[in-house]
A = this chain, B = another copy of it.
Amino acid sequence: MKTYFDCIPCFIRQALDATRMVTDDPVVQERILRDVLRLVSELDLSLPPPALGHEIHRIIRRASNSPDPYADLKAHLNTAALELLPELERWVEESSDPFDSAVRIAVAGNIVDLGFTSEIDPQEVRATIDKALAYPFPSGAIEKLKAAASAARSILYLADNAGEIVFDRLLLAQLPGDRVTVAVHGGPILNDAMRTDAEQAGIGELAEVVDNGSDAPGTVLEACSREFRQRFDSADLIISKGMANFETLNEIDRPIWFLLQAKCPVIAREARVELGTMMILGPSQ
**A residues touching B (Cβ–Cβ < 8 Å)?**
5-6, 8-10, 12-13, 16, 29-30, 33-35, 37-38, 40-42, 45
Contacts and interface: CB of A to CB of B under 8 A. Distances in A.
Given A12-B12, A41-B41, A5 B29 contact: yes
Given A5-B29, A9-B16, A16-B8, A41 B38 contact: yes
Contacts of A37: 8, 37-38, 40-41
Contacts of A29: 5
Given A5-B16, A8-B16, A42 B34 contact: yes
A113 to B, nearest CB: 18
A5 B33 contact: yes
Return the 5 tightest CB-CB contacts between A and B, nearest first. Answer: A37-B41, A9-B13, A9-B12, A38-B41, A34-B41
A45 B37 CA distance: 14
Nearest to A19: B5
Contacts of A34: 41-42
Contacts of A42: 34
Contacts of A40: 37
16 contacts: A5-B16, A5-B29, A5-B33, A8-B33, A8-B37, A9-B9, A9-B13, A12-B12, A30-B45, A34-B41, A34-B42, A35-B41, A37-B38, A37-B41, A38-B38, A41-B41
Nearest to A37: B41
Given A37-B41, A38-B38, A40-B37, A16 B12 contact: no
